[in-house]
Amino acid sequence: MNLIDPIIGFQAELQAIRRDLHAHPELSYEEQRTSDLVARKLTEWQIPVLRGLGVTGVVGIVKNGSSDRAIGLRADMDALPMQELNTFAHASQHQGKMHACGHDGHTAMLLGAAHYLARHRNFDGTVYLIFQPAEEGGRGAQRMIDDGLFEKCPMEAVFGMHNWPGAAAGSFGVKPGPMMASSNEFEVIVKGKGAHAAQPHKGIDPVMVAVQIAQSWQTIVSRNLNPNDPAVLSVTQIHSGSATNVIPDEATLIGTVRTFSTAVLDNIEARMRAIARHTAAAFKAEVDFRFHRNYPPLINHAKETAFAVSVLESMVGAENVNSQVEPTMGAEDFAFMLENKPGCYVFIGNGEGDHRTSGHGLGPCNLHNASYDFNDDLLPIGASYWVNLAESYLKKN
């Protein structure tokens, strides 16, 4: 593994930063302490700072030479509304908040790259260090874009990285094209007519209509989509009624849809709407159909992905880079950045969890699990990747 020696020597400080962030998690758009820490470190290292994009977002700007070329490197900063089960020294100090997805590690890795780039500047152009808020459902990437990220920080390409539990620590996974799915939610209210349960003929039962709709929706993926187009349609909640002898007025269906393509998503939404409306009409009921698109599919650009793979293989060896990793139905709002700029998003293996110190929870070291903890051995690996990527992209003539 070809890592950068000064970054390896800086690992202890990066670990201290990472564990401090883990102990003080902040939710979407509340990352004030985190962004203050990031801005303070960048300023200490003589890196100009741009604040206020996406409410709590921070961008460090490292320039060198005369080229107008530029690259963006992005890390997310927010935590999750979860109660941590770990009891080690750096466990969360805030009830109901936890860094259960490793954003503390992502922030620390990008700070490690910032520290090195500011001191060595072995590139010609500009590196934008993007510390993004509100990835966990808050559309923080889109908020930074709306606030002028790419106008104020003009860059040719943007790159992202996320730790991946279960993959060998320090290995990497990536692929061109769709790598993560779109994330979408639906809420459908079936409006019937309440009645006594012993006199069902006097009412319109919304519960039975909801059941018929839910069952019919399951034919969309199996009968309306091309079998080569992956998709998930899951009804995760059905709510209705308050008594055993009352037919309620309404029933609500809630769930999620995931796809790797906007065209497939368009098809699913249209079919869901039509099935819900016509099924309800057949029972003389009505529906209020609500479909919310959260994050688009994350689609890596071919050229930038090939470039990222070449950098990774030169650093950790081709045997540690899976360049056709299996895509996941999980979602990631870095997708918004890739809709606006070419770029690539990679997974860095977080291991199986044996890195966790004494006092960790008894659950698995999986993302969004209350026993999760980021693997600090990745800090110099991830930081070295960022530096190698930036220096290779902005290589001096």
Q: Which CATH architecture has domain 5-180+297-393?
A: 3-Layer(aba) Sandwich (3.40)
Asked if residues 373 and 365 have their Cβ atoms less than 8 Å apart, the reply is: yes
Q: If you average pLDDT over residues 1-23, what whole number do you get?
A: 97
Strand partners, 198: none
The CATH fold of domain 183-295: Alpha-Beta Plaits (3.30.70)
Domain 5-180+297-393 matches domain 183-295 at the CATH topology level: no
Is 90 exceeded by the pLDDT of residue 396? Answer: no
The domain locations on the chain are 5-180+297-393, 183-295
Beta strands 177-180; 157-164: pairing state = unpaired
CB 255 within 8 A of CB 269: no
pLDDT, tens digit, 9 for 90 and up, residues 42-72: 999 999 999 999 999 999 999 999 999 999 9
Confidence of residue 185 (pLDDT cuts 50, 70, 90): very high
Q: What is the DSSP letter of 153?
A: S
d(CA 260, CA 175): 13
Q: With bands split at pLDDT 50, 70 and 90, how would you rate the model's confidence at 25?
A: very high
Neighbouring-strand partners of residue 32: none
Closest to 379 (Cα-Cα) out of 193, 188, 107: 107
Cβ contacts of 374 within 8 Å, gap of 6 or more: 18, 22, 99, 102, 104, 105, 163, 350
Is the CB of residue 21 less than 8 Å from the CB of residue 34?
Answer: yes
Per cent of the chain over pLDDT 90 is: 99
* pLDDT tens for each residue of 104-128: 999 999 999 999 999 999 999 999 9
What pTM, to 2 d.p., does this model score? 0.95
Measured CA distances, 362 to 80, 91, 166, 192, 369 (Å) = 19, 14, 16, 46, 10
* C-alpha span between 372 and 364 (Å, rounded): 7
pLDDT of residue 352: 97
Contact 92, 104 (CB under 8 A): no
Distance from chain centroid for Cα 297: 11
Instruction: Tell whether the model's pLDDT for residue 397 goes beyond 80.
Output: no
Token code pair at residue 249: 């007025």
Which whole number is the average pLDDT over 200-207?
A: 98
Tokens 């993959």 correspond to 167
Q: How far, CA to CA in Å, does 212 sit from each of 145, 169, 190, 268, 277?
A: 42, 47, 11, 17, 12
